[in-house]
Structure 1
Amino acid sequence: METTASVEGGGSAVSGVEIQLEHVTKRYPGSREPAVDDVTMTIPAGKIVILVGPSGCGKTTTMRMINRLIEPTSGKITIGGKDALRLNPDRLRRTVGYAIQQAGLFPHFTVAQNIAVVPGLLGWDKKKINDRVEEMMDLVGLDPKQFHGRYPRQLSGGQQQRVGVARALAADPPVLLMDEPFGAVDPITRGNLQDELLRLQSDLHKTIVFVTHDFDEAVKLGDKIAVLGNQSKILQYDTPDAILANPADDTVAGFVGAGASLKQLTLLRVRDVELDQAPLTASISESPASVRQKLAEKNAKYVLVLDERRRPVRWVHLRELGGASSLGTAGKPLSDLVSLQSTLQDALEAMLVEGGGVPVTGSRGEYVGTIHLDTVMATIQRLREEHAES
């Protein structure tokens, strides 16, 4: 099982493969009803498909049958045209990435060792593994020099999840299964991890099957959403905008919930609107005195401080520069920011935290602009007018 466009050591042209489930059923001994009953669906190559439904409906069981962590009772599953049920289960799992809630890292392994697990099992040589580990750490936004030798207990929840995603992608699998991977972290970190996944997907184009009970997360991440009822019955399988606009029945409408028009904000990305620029930006290495002079020349009150990689780190007001010894300690650190992959709903929530305009970052965390409340409110007004017309 190979990617349709393989890249040695990673790259930007990697594609996933199509997955087909045909009449897949799972019955557990002693149970009167099947946990999963006669599921048939096609998961397109290179897309993110979300399985969303209430707890206990069978969505995780359905996903785990794809890599045979749970064996189907009947039916057929093909991955890239190959019958998954005829493959060696261990070999199959090494070609399917798997990321779970709370990362599931080996606590006695370092970050690098955790990421290297599957390449090691596949017999990659040491140099190739080391190169891949560094590449994956950089890809998920963890500085190899800083995190290479750390253990999971020394990481935040968000950092652990990044390592989990890096480990799942390390062997360059065409398929990635994700079982509520961001469910155990705080809302801000969760939004950042969602953005990171979308950024990675824009580069890698894997086939991703993602389980969640959060419909807002499904709308934000999914190219397609499968809304599941009991026994994984597919109530509706369509694009997020189609489900928001036309729920198939009352059960799906219950998932969509109130404020469907406001949920349209989760379909629009920050990259879709025009960004402003901060009145002034400054490198963290600049002296407070020189920045104070620049603010005076521009008749500005605030400066956005960027680190050595041009990533936004803090806002500093003119009055806070007087007694400051460096820009690294002046002002206040950023509580939240958004990326070009973020939704306008994410941006709105970040503004409530920051209390004003929010810096926007690009593919490597670099500053690309600022989004303000006026921009989001104008977009909401336009959506309301369009909704009223339709």
Structure 2
Amino acid sequence: MTDSANRTAAAAVSGVGIVLDAVTKRYPGQQEPAVDAVSMTMPAGEIVVLVGPSGCGKTTTMRMINRLIEPTSGTVTIDGRDAAEIDPDRLRRGIGYSIQQAGLFPHMTVARNIATVPGLIGWDRKRIAARTDEMLELVGLDPGTYRRRYPRQLSGGQQQRVGVARALAADPPILLMDEPFGAVDPITRGLLQDELLRLQAELGKTIVFVTHDFNEAVKLGDRIAVLGDRSRILQYDRPAAILADPADETVAGFAGSDAALKQLTLTRIREVTLGECATVTEDAPVAVARTAIGDGARALVLDTAGRPLRWITTADLAHADSVGGAGTAAETLSAESTLQEGLAALLGDRNATAVVTGPDGKYAGLVTIDTLVGHLAGLRTEPGTGTATDVPA
């Protein structure tokens, strides 16, 4: 079973199924349809990624789910109901929507942005306030710090987190995400992807995610729909199946010549057996830190909440009065990071070691090159691992 399948099985599914049946969109004056007879089933509680080149119709296809764009023909069924028979405002209030650059209302505070849909559907103030704080905590932002800020006072990554919080505020079963992380830097993008996977593991929503980045699709998707012109489906399958057996040359082009390397994105760091190291808290006496290092090369300094800060060596403590401030910064990886991201981090560390943190940011263990090599070697000895037939429908 792939990691994405494990993730879906582990989550308490709160999403609902979506079925597109010959969905088509024609615009007046255009000879060819923008979307031509797309049919696919999106299972409840999974992340389905629509990936394809710019202008292929993937965003149009997604927007027909919540009727921001009305289909010309065909049927969109949500949890067994024809979406065309649901009042469009009611339909949209029951579907979360997150876009690139967050799409926050600039004149509203963070709290008011998040409260938008709950307010529209009639929640009382007390319930809205509690839900706002809950959503901020869920996406890793302190309510006391960010509740009263305006979008202009946030970084790009923080804006995207607020955008996701707003989309989830009314607890919709479906979340539509239109290239939500495309406008942030690569490091922040990776962190936001990890955050989305963490949230999905907790919430089990049905997420339809649009991107043109195949690496992002492989990392996030339980299933990937590779689209061609007019949203024609070139291949719709689990990431492992697409990487192992692309349907045609176009799909193979998306997968790239490094398709084998992309297989590393199908496994999370949390699936690897982690190592351990000596640790010491930043408020510990220097003598305690020296004892912790012992015969080892170094120890990891943690803050009082157990989050990693720095590496220290005996030399760092030679003239130090306290552990606080001594040593060099420790590079960290989220437990949700992929093996590919882990490998990149290890290659950039002179000790080929990375510190792994759990969902709460606390120290969870170490990963090394030997750890990854051993894990991959184990996968190669397991019969059938990574084949399409191993992935349940």
Q: What is the TM-score of this pair, normalised by structure 1?
A: 0.89
Displacement of 1:233 in angstroms is 0.2
SS of structure 1 residue aligned to 2:16: coil
Q: Shift in Å at residue 196 of structure 1?
A: 1.0
**Contact 1:20–1:78 under 8 Å retained in 2:** yes
Which stretch of the first structure deviates more once superposed, 23-32 or 146-155? 146-155
| Map of 2:280 onto structure 1 | 282
> 1:295 touches 1:318 (CA, 8 Å); kept in 2?
no
Work out whether 1:338 is the aligned partner of 2:333: yes
- Counterpart contact for 1:261–1:384, Cα < 8 Å: no
1:365 positional shift: 2.0
- Aligned counterparts, 1:237-386, within 5 A: 237-278=236-277, 280-284=278-282, 286-287=283-284, 289-296=286-293, 298-322=294-318, 327=323, 329-334=325-330, 336-355=331-350, 356-381=352-377
Q: Residues 291, 154 of structure 1: CA spacing in aligned structure 2 closer, same or farther, 3 A cutoff?
A: farther
Residue 386 of structure 1 and its aligned partner are, at CA, apart by 7.6
What amino acid sits opposite 1:346 in the alignment?
E
Deviations 1:297-316 (A, max 9, x none): x2234332323432223333
The amino acid that maps onto 2:363 is Y
TM-superposed CA distance for 1:220, in Å, is: 1.1
Worse-superposed segment, 199-208 or 342-351: 342-351
Offset, 1:95: 0.6
Partner SS, residue 315 of structure 1: strand
Could you say which residue in structure 1 is the equivalent of 2:105?
106
SS of residue paired to 1:85: helix
Counterpart in the other structure of 2:57: 58
Q: 1:323 to 1:60 in 2, by over 3 A?
A: farther
Assess if the C-alpha contact under 8 Å between 1:174 and 1:206 holds in 2.
Answer: yes
Deviation at 1:40, TM superposition (A): 0.8
1:62-81 maps to which residues of 2 (within 5 A)?
62-81=61-80
Q: Is the aligned partner of 1:17 residue 2:12?
A: no
Counterpart code for 1:344: L
Deviation at 1:275, TM superposition (A): 0.3
Unaligned runs of 5+ in 2: 1-10, 388-393
Aligned CA RMSD, in angstroms, stands at 2.3
Offset, 1:202: 0.9
> Do 2:17 and 2:44's aligned partners in 1 also have CA atoms closer than 8 Å?
yes
Paired with 1:321 and 1:89, the residues of 2 have a C-alpha distance of: 65
Q: What secondary structure, in the 3-state scheme, does the structure 1 residue paired with 2:275 have?
A: coil
Structure 1 Cα separation of the partners of residues 123 and 353 of structure 2: 47
CA offsets per residue over residues 221-249 of structure 1, 9 Å max, x none?
11111010000000111111111111111
Query: How far apart, CA to CA, are the structure 1 residues paired with 2:227 and 2:54?
Result: 10
Deviation at 1:122, TM superposition (A): 1.3
Structure 1 residues 318 and 49, CA gap change in structure 2 (3 angstroms): same
Letter in 2 for 1:294: T
Q: Deviation of residue 146 (structure 1)?
A: 2.3
The alpha carbon displacement at 1:138 in A equals 1.3
Are the equivalent residues in 2 in contact too, given 1:261–1:387 (CA < 8 A)? Answer: no
TM-superposed CA distance for 1:291, in Å, is: 4.7
Tell me the distance in 1 between the aligned counterparts of 2:316 and 2:105: 44
CA contact (8 A) 1:25 1:38 kept: yes
Residue aligned with 1:360, SS: strand
Partners of 2:286 and 2:322 within 8 A in 1: no
| 1:191 paired residue number | 190
Q: Tell me how far apart the structure 2 counterparts of residues 219 and 228 of structure 1 sit (CA, whole Å).
A: 14
Is 1:215 the counterpart of 2:214 in the alignment?
Answer: yes
Give the distance between the partners of 1:349 and 1:204, measured in 2 at CA: 29
Helix, strand or coil: the match of 2:134?
A: helix
Partner letter of residue 289 of structure 1? V
Deviating beyond 6 angstroms after TM superposition, the runs of 4 or more aligned structure 1 residues are: 384-390
**Does the 8 Å CA contact 1:288/1:322 hold for their aligned counterparts?**
no
- Output one character per residue of 1:101-146: Cα deviation in whole Å (capped at 9) or x when no partner: 1111122222222211111111111111111111111111112222
In terms of mean alpha carbon deviation, does 312-321 or 64-73 score higher? 312-321
Give the Å deviation of 1:338. Answer: 2.0
Partner secondary structure for residue 345 of structure 1? helix
Q: Deviations over 1:50-94 (max 9, x none)?
A: 101111110011001111111111111111112211222221111
Q: What is aligned with 1:3?
A: none
Distance 1:131 1:323 in 2: 49
Structure 1 residue 149: Cα displacement: 2.1
Question: Using the alignment, how far apart are the partners of 1:237 and 1:93 within structure 2?
Answer: 26
CA positional deviation for 1:186: 1.7
Q: Structure 2: how far apart are the matches of 1:143 and 1:350?
A: 28
What is the distance in 2 between the residues matched to 1:371 and 1:129?
42
- Tell me how far apart the structure 1 counterparts of residues 347 and 244 of structure 2 sit (CA, whole Å): 28
Aligned-pair distance for 1:351? 2.2
Gaps of at least 5 residues in structure 1 are 1-11
The whole-number CA distance in structure 1 between the counterparts of 2:302 and 2:205 is 32
User: The residue matched to 1:318 in structure 2 has which SS?
Assistant: coil
Q: Secondary structure at the match of 2:315?
A: helix
Task: Report % sequence identity.
Answer: 63
Q: TM-score, normalised by structure 2?
A: 0.89
Q: Secondary structure at the match of 1:320?
A: coil
Of 363-372 and 307-316, more deviation after overlay is shown by 307-316
Preserved CA contact (<8 Å) 2:286 2:321 = no
